[in-house]
Structure 1
Amino acid sequence: METPIKSWSEVAPVLVAVAAGRQAADSVIRGGKLVNVQSREILDGWQVAISEGRFAYVGPDASHCIGPDTEVTEAGGRYLIPGLCDGHMHIESGMLTPAEFAAAVIPHGTTTMFTDPHEIANVLGLRGVRLMHDEALMQPVNIFTQMPSCAPSAPGLEKTGYEISPDDVAEAMTWPGIIGLGEMMNFPGVINGDPKMLAEIAATQDAGKTVGGHYASPDRGIPFHAYVAGGPADDHEGTAEADAIARARQGMRSMLRLGSAWYDVESQITAVTEKGLDPRNFILCTDDCHSGTLVNDGHMNRVVRHAIACGCDPLIALQMATVNTATHFGLERELGSIAPGRRADLILTSDLHNLPIELVIARGVTVAKDGEITVECPHLDWPEDARATVHLGKALAATHFEVPAPDGRNRVTARVIGVVENQAPTEALTAELPVIDCVVEGENGVAQIALVERHRATGEVVNGFVSGFGYEGRMAIASTVAHDSHHMIVVGTDRAMMAAAANRLGEVGGGVTVWKDGAEIALVELPIAGLMSDSPARDVAAKAQRMVEAMAECGCTLNNAYMQHSLLALVVIPSLRISDLGLVDVDRFQLTDLFEERS
């Protein structure tokens, strides 16, 4: 059940009384080593007293807080560390609802998440955000919601199911669980003074809340400075040490991410470990983690372990995943450290380097032990219209995926989206492709890609080409997870199977399907907004693992290739993407032709 957070007027008298020894604590933890992220030191033998879901006493001896009904936990020499915080993430990327996502990450020691539900905003608008927000507040851990800023992410380059307006942002700022504005992906809009983008930022700033950043350009010159001047307070899109340094020098928090497919910690953490920058301005996050990663590898504990393996001092890495994050969002007095008055979120671990998560406490309640969750994560009753969001308008056929050759040529020079392993950006490539019966065909590793409109039943299909997946033989993969517009992305080498895959997702209400040699070989159903399942994480992860295996059976060798697939329509990250309006040159932020003109 939900552990309610009481008001300060209710809890302060109790905390003071417990710390003074006038009242017994609910629980006491002793016999451990306290990791103090405020002072960056390990305090051997320090004890913790908890009451009303908060830390009342933190010091060398809590015996004066123990009464006949106080629950005493012996730490057995283990470390007490704060519950871990994820500074930037999207729950929908786990293919799970907030409840199931929480259930998956609690055993890994994540007790606080700052989430941006802009995926569902593109499908269901403000109402979808409210549904995510409401289920988040039901959980036994802290899930704060950032109001999405960019739906569509790039106006004029794509159309979405719904559009977010400044009025929507202003309304959301009054909701109890809204912590700020989600990543401001439309960085050209900010740089060029777009009134809508600046109005959204202003509504957030006026509410005294944090503006999330997303500057995906490698240009750290005047455009970057103009973007920072607009108000974004953090950025997770850095991929190089110079990116991390540039952001910190401008007063931003540099968020270093390790997701299922994003490996941007190692290349940037040297700003701290080698260049010696103040680590207070650095935050660890995941951004996007699919269910398989959550079940098999971990969540924020995985990121902290990785940062340590990259040479970061364990105490600094822990600061980057606790107090730094809380401070950034204005919650340093509320969470992020084991200190009086903070929410009693902590972990017991026997090893600060490998970080086994042996006991997790959230708001004073044991929520996981030895890798198993010990509490319930309540579910929202998701309405039927949130489960019926794939509207194709008509059954698709192989002919919808044909690319007619221009001017009767027998060969063409086509622009090709080039997938880069473990990186969000793509390459803008070209390839000489053959024409057979007036239709352009892929060859030599170049597959077809299509974006199928699925919000308004227009029946529109935009076709193009992609390379880097390594697909062979006759295959197709379709997904209604298509950041950020979340139409449907279909990639394949056989047009009939591309049509079959798209129609299949129309039947099941969304998800991911893989086809090989005329038959479906994997299916992950995602009935909620075509993005999420309310099934347990392990069940979803098992189907997702089968999906990964199926992609490999089709010839794909990329690490986490599905994440790359799902981002092919993300028209705010360079260099070449596809949208429902056509092929997008993100470097110039404009639509471009599929074929190069003859010289």
Structure 2
Amino acid sequence: MTSITPKTWAESAPRLIDVATGRTPADMVVRNGRWVNVHTREVLSGYDIAIAAGRFAAIAQDLSYAIGPDTTVIDAGGRYMVPGLCDGHMHVESGMVTVTEFARAVVPHGTTSMFIDPHEIANVLGLPGVRLMHDEALSLPVNVFVQMPACVPSAPGLENAGATIGPAEVAEAMSWPGIVGLGEMMNFPGVAMGDGRMLGEIAHTMAAGKTVGGHYASPDLGKPFLGYVAGGPSDDHEGTRLIDCVTRARLGMRPMLRLGSAWYDVATQIKAITEMGLDPRSFILCTDDSHSGTLVHDGHMNRVVRHAIAQGCPPVVALQMATINTASHFGLEREIGSITPGRRADLILTSDLAALPIETVIARGVVIAEGGALTAEIPPYPYPASAKSTVRLGRSLAPADFDIAAPAGAAEVTARVIGVIENQAPTRALTARVSVDGNGHVIGNGRAADGSDVCQIALVERHRGTGGVVNGLVSGFGYDKPCAVASTVAHDSHHMIVVGTSKADMAQAANRLAEVGGGIVVISQGRELALVELSIAGLMSEERAEIVAAKAATMVAAMESCGCRLNNAYMQHSLLALVVIPELRISDLGLVDVTRLEKVDLFIQN
């Protein structure tokens, strides 16, 4: 298809006025629909919508006068006319596909605007990687706005990333046409302590008149939180409890309630609206992280809106949280988020406001999807060679690289263990009694001496070829046979995470990912059960979303065949190195107690 680059409202205004007043025909008229007005929270029956120059020109009960010989006429047949859905915070890379492929996957689900934070590619390729995704976003026939990554690395001193971003890079990016703000400010301790680098990034963003994204991943709502809010972040998607969103809203932040592939944080927090009666215009819905299988099979923002409605939220309120609230937050209320004159002509036709079947999707005045299928041609976006071949181990790894040496003479040891929490981003800091073999190495074969579920985890450095391997223990995956799962998607520094019960399989899995340039692989007893190749920065595939989703399904099945029963276990796997979310994580520098923001020993002395 030919993408319509949206002209400014000023450039379009003469044409819009002429269509609205009947002096010239519209490009498209949608007739006889139920207008879902998210400004007034009304559903108004029997309305027409006139579209010209990719924008809404007029909405009235009879716009037959705007129909000319070349006007496309769509009969809504009494269906609901809903603004195109907006995702207020998300990471394209979590879908394991490019921005183009992500758009192809979500447009049939009614998403026409996305606010993306490409800090995954930033941790691998730095500012040039952000520019690649920014330029790709501008080429698309839907709205993809970019937030400049704020924390690369996310926790200086506790990890090393493949690149570094600071105030100078933020200042440069603020001049780019598609940048709408600063991405999630994950270094919340830095902001609360007045760190000059973090405050410098925020200052450049505010000086540009743009939005500062938040990420306060701590349950402490006392002085550190108050300091963080005073530092400037204006939204936050890390709340998991009712008190989290209530406190944020009361202090002028926009709580972003997320439902991703593995994050289920809407149900507990939406009670602020459904039970406490707080003003819903302060709240936003988002996905944060969705893998390709969720996008292709379950949906995107339509899935989040349905879920909110299922929790008792009135349908139009849920839609406000996925349209106008998001647009207003980013200062784009005059561009997107509602079906009102002058806005970009993004809308959905649906026959049921609660079930929300996405029957027709119009973006910038062009029908782009029908009946759940993309009808527009969106060609692949070419990534340069500089964005590939980014997995550098420096050497071939051997099983001995995954040995965990116990204190001399010990038959059993007490060890710190990362505890996975199903459907949530935080982990638990657990301890377990683990056995030691005859060679003095900890046994992490899936079951600890005390009967708990414990296997090995390793962080393999992959940016500079140092050959470094940091070993630890993890609980919650349930692997009960010799196996290994390795991934170069390892938020946020994106080294390689290997989890397994067999050191031979762990070495084979790591070497396999180095061979293919990144991705996810499942190995069991020397046999490759699944492979998802992610050649772009070790994060994204060059293949179509449907193909990636099929490979990801094979990966999930392979993990299950090894004993894993977690919902979306891969998403949990990929976050085990995220050293800005409590409680216990692993980095290329060692085991990290995120609550205390310090490195800790694997073994606890009795």
- The bucket for the TM-score relative to the shorter chain is over 0.9
The answer as to whether partners of 2:259 and 2:304 remain within 8 angstroms in 1 is: yes
The answer as to whether partners of 1:396 and 1:499 remain within 8 angstroms in 2 is: yes
Residue number in structure 2 paired with 1:539: 547
Residue number in structure 2 paired with 1:116: 117
The answer as to whether partners of 2:389 and 2:535 remain within 8 angstroms in 1 is: yes
Residue number in structure 1 paired with 2:353: 352
Deviation by residue 1:20-51 (Cα, 9 ceiling, x = unmatched)? 11111111011110100010000100110000
Residue number in structure 2 paired with 1:15: 16
The answer as to whether partners of 1:2 and 1:378 remain within 8 angstroms in 2 is: no
Counterpart of 1:439 (choices 433, 441, 460) is 441
The answer as to whether partners of 1:452 and 1:461 remain within 8 angstroms in 2 is: yes
Matched, 1:185 2:193: no
Residue number in structure 1 paired with 2:389: 388
Gaps of 5+ in 1: none
Residue number in structure 2 paired with 1:47: 48
Aligned counterparts of 1:248 and 1:378: Cα–Cα separation in 2:
41
Matched, 1:278 2:279: yes
The 3 A distance-change label for structure 1 pair 179 and 378 is farther
Residue number in structure 2 paired with 1:574: 582
Alpha-carbon shift at residue 7 of structure 1 (Å)? 2.7
Q: What SS does structure 1 have at the residue aligned with 2:20? A: helix
The answer as to whether partners of 2:327 and 2:337 remain within 8 angstroms in 1 is: yes
Aligned counterparts of 1:553 and 1:244: Cα–Cα separation in 2:
38
Deviation by residue 1:198-253 (Cα, 9 ceiling, x = unmatched)? 00000000000000000000011111111000000000000011111000000000
Alpha-carbon shift at residue 407 of structure 1 (Å)? 3.1
Alpha-carbon shift at residue 377 of structure 1 (Å)? 2.2
Alpha-carbon shift at residue 10 of structure 1 (Å)? 2.2
Q: What SS does structure 2 have at the residue aligned with 1:69? A: coil
Residue number in structure 2 paired with 1:430: 431
Aligned counterparts of 2:282 and 2:334: Cα–Cα separation in 1:
18
Cα RMSD of the aligned pairs, angstroms, is 0.7
Runs of 4+ in 1 over 4 A off after TM superposition: none
Alpha-carbon shift at residue 195 of structure 1 (Å)? 0.2
Within 5 Å, which residues of 2 pair with 1:171-182?
Answer: 171-182=172-183
The answer as to whether partners of 1:138 and 1:378 remain within 8 angstroms in 2 is: no
Matched, 1:501 2:509: yes
Give the total of aligned pairs. Answer: 598
Residue number in structure 1 paired with 2:208: 207
Within 5 Å, which residues of 2 pair with 1:237-386?
Answer: 237-386=238-387
Q: What SS does structure 2 have at the residue aligned with 1:112? A: strand
Aligned counterparts of 1:196 and 1:524: Cα–Cα separation in 2:
37
Aligned counterparts of 1:69 and 1:552: Cα–Cα separation in 2:
55
Deviation by residue 1:325-345 (Cα, 9 ceiling, x = unmatched)? 000000001110000000000
Kindly, what percent of the aligned residue pairs are identical?
A: 69
Residue number in structure 2 paired with 1:557: 565
The answer as to whether partners of 1:135 and 1:379 remain within 8 angstroms in 2 is: no
Code of the residue aligned with 2:462 in structure 1: it is R
Deviation by residue 1:403-452 (Cα, 9 ceiling, x = unmatched)? 01123322111000000000100000001111111111123320000000
Residue number in structure 1 paired with 2:460: 452
Aligned counterparts of 1:348 and 1:535: Cα–Cα separation in 2:
30
- Which deviates the most, 514-523 or 369-378? 369-378
Code of the residue aligned with 2:106 in structure 1: it is V
The answer as to whether partners of 2:408 and 2:440 remain within 8 angstroms in 1 is: no
Alpha-carbon shift at residue 68 of structure 1 (Å)? 1.8
Aligned counterparts of 2:8 and 2:188: Cα–Cα separation in 1:
38
The answer as to whether partners of 1:138 and 1:377 remain within 8 angstroms in 2 is: no
Residue number in structure 2 paired with 1:69: 70
Aligned counterparts of 1:90 and 1:247: Cα–Cα separation in 2:
22
The answer as to whether partners of 1:572 and 1:586 remain within 8 angstroms in 2 is: yes
- Which deviates the most, 145-154 or 65-74? 65-74
The answer as to whether partners of 1:480 and 1:510 remain within 8 angstroms in 2 is: yes
Code of the residue aligned with 2:266 in structure 1: it is V
Q: What SS does structure 2 have at the residue aligned with 1:514? A: strand
Residue number in structure 2 paired with 1:590: 598
Aligned counterparts of 2:27 and 2:10: Cα–Cα separation in 1:
18
Code of the residue aligned with 1:110 in structure 2: it is T
Q: What SS does structure 1 have at the residue aligned with 2:369? A: strand
Deviation by residue 1:229-280 (Cα, 9 ceiling, x = unmatched)? 0000000000011111000000000000000000000010000000000000
Q: What SS does structure 2 have at the residue aligned with 1:368? A: strand
Residue number in structure 2 paired with 1:235: 236
Matched, 1:524 2:532: yes
Aligned counterparts of 1:381 and 1:75: Cα–Cα separation in 2:
38
Q: What SS does structure 2 have at the residue aligned with 1:208? A: coil
Code of the residue aligned with 2:125 in structure 1: it is L
The answer as to whether partners of 2:28 and 2:51 remain within 8 angstroms in 1 is: yes
Aligned counterparts of 1:523 and 1:381: Cα–Cα separation in 2:
23
Aligned counterparts of 1:56 and 1:414: Cα–Cα separation in 2:
65
Q: What SS does structure 2 have at the residue aligned with 1:227? A: helix
Q: What SS does structure 1 have at the residue aligned with 2:126? A: helix
Residue number in structure 2 paired with 1:466: 474
Using the size of structure 1 for normalisation, the TM-score is: 0.99
Gaps of 5+ in 2: none
Aligned counterparts of 2:295 and 2:381: Cα–Cα separation in 1:
21
Aligned counterparts of 2:434 and 2:353: Cα–Cα separation in 1:
54
The answer as to whether partners of 1:124 and 1:386 remain within 8 angstroms in 2 is: yes
Aligned counterparts of 1:337 and 1:460: Cα–Cα separation in 2:
51
Aligned counterparts of 1:383 and 1:32: Cα–Cα separation in 2:
45
Residue number in structure 1 paired with 2:60: 59
Aligned counterparts of 2:81 and 2:258: Cα–Cα separation in 1:
24
Alpha-carbon shift at residue 378 of structure 1 (Å)? 3.5
Using the size of structure 2 for normalisation, the TM-score is: 0.98
Residue number in structure 1 paired with 2:83: 82
Aligned counterparts of 2:338 and 2:571: Cα–Cα separation in 1:
33
Alpha-carbon shift at residue 379 of structure 1 (Å)? 3.1
Alpha-carbon shift at residue 506 of structure 1 (Å)? 0.4
Deviation by residue 1:577-596 (Cα, 9 ceiling, x = unmatched)? 00000000000111111111
Residue number in structure 1 paired with 2:198: 197
Alpha-carbon shift at residue 14 of structure 1 (Å)? 0.4
Aligned counterparts of 2:378 and 2:40: Cα–Cα separation in 1:
34
Aligned counterparts of 1:378 and 1:475: Cα–Cα separation in 2:
38
The answer as to whether partners of 2:458 and 2:497 remain within 8 angstroms in 1 is: yes
Aligned counterparts of 1:8 and 1:140: Cα–Cα separation in 2:
17
